[in-house]
Amino acid sequence: MNNGTSHSWSFSQILLVFAIIVTILASIALVSVWVFHVGGLEFSLPLATSLVVIAVSLLVAVEQSRVIKKKKKQSSYQSIENANQRIGFKNQMLYCIAIIIAIGVALSTVSLYYHSYYFSASPRPYSTATSAFATETALANINPYAPGPSALIMSDPLSANNQIAQWQQNPQGSCQFTNRSYHVSAAPNTFTGCFAVGSNYTDFTYQIQMIFIQHAPKYSTGGILFRGSTDQHAFYSFEVYASGRYIFQKCNNGGANCTVLAGSPQDPPSPAFHVDQMNTLAVVANQNMFTLLINQQMIGSPQTDNSGPYTRGLIGVLAQGGLGSDTPTQVAYSNIKVWQ
């Protein structure tokens, strides 16, 4: 009889330790799925299946160990031969079950890591959503007016001023940020131009949204200014009347002297313009050629300035006070984009 302290591990004990180790590894993998989203949602189902198999194998291993110990204890009250026969037969059955469970655990573990590798290299639902969002953003940043490559260099909702554009603001309130948009006001029969003094562009596409807050019965305009001089005395203006007509001018002396390049207040209203609604104005400036657009529809044909064109300068917005009443003209601008 050996009274030493050496102890040999039984098969059930080995299986129990193996099941515990695999359970710990599987738990770490499960945390990585649920917390860090490793493997995506597709990984959760095979992982959950693997954990169920592991849990069952753990329970069977524990039960096997308990049954074997109980049978060995009972054998002391029976004949050694009969006990050994019964325990030997049942041990064989339990070992077979344990081996099957162990194989299931091993296959589940291999499947777990296989799915981890497979799904980590495949597109995931959240990655697809992120990719779709990135694609949508990229499409929104593409210049819809000019062919060929161009970079979006300004994109601003105009809800507040910023240090890059540096939109003009004055105490009289003719150029100010109000209600999360940039408002330009003009008394009857007067002109107001408001510039982004931090801008300075040559060839570009300039787009902005505008809506009349109030206007006189006739000749009230809003619109965009571009290639303005640093003193804001010279510029191009693309003006849209509240009725839907338009006029394109080359101005100096602060707008006191202007040469009409296209359009007229007597022309029929443009069908592209939405009266008393938000409208999107745009101009494509390419050297001395200018394309004017309202709601992404070209107005007339491209215009060419052959009389000493302005080549670069500031961008801005405007309001022209109308006639027929004492009502001042107020125009709100938002969502500016500039491509170059």
3-class SS letters over 60-115: HHHHHHHHHHHHHHHHHHCCHHHHHHHHHHHHHHHHHHHHHHHHHHHHHHHHHHHH
Residue ranges covered by each domain of the chain: 11-129, 146-339
Burial of 334 (C-beta count, 10 Å sphere; 0-12/13-18/19+) = middle
The rounded distance, in Å, linking the Cα atoms of 30 and 113 is: 11
Cβ proximity of 87 and 64 under 8 Å: no
The SS3 assignment for 28 reads: helix
Tens-of-pLDDT digits for all 340 residues of the chain? 555 555 566 666 676 677 677 667 766 766 565 555 444 444 455 555 666 666 666 666 666 666 666 665 655 555 555 555 555 555 556 666 666 666 665 665 555 555 554 444 444 444 454 455 556 666 678 999 988 889 999 999 999 999 999 999 997 889 999 999 999 999 999 999 999 999 999 999 999 999 999 999 999 999 999 999 999 899 999 999 999 999 999 999 988 899 999 999 999 999 999 999 999 999 999 999 999 999 999 999 999 999 999 999 999 999 999 999 999 999 999 999 999 9
- What angle is formed at CA 325 by the lines to CA 319 and CA 331, rounded to 5 degrees? 25
3.40.50.620, 2.60.120.560, 3.40.50.360, 2.60.120.1270: CATH of 146-339: 2.60.120.560
- Using DSSP's 3-state secondary structure scheme, residue 177 falls into strand
Backbone angles phi, psi at 258, to 5 degrees: -130, 145
Residue type for 173, please? G
Q: Which token pair is 275?
A: 């009266």
Hey, what are 190's tokens? 């007067």
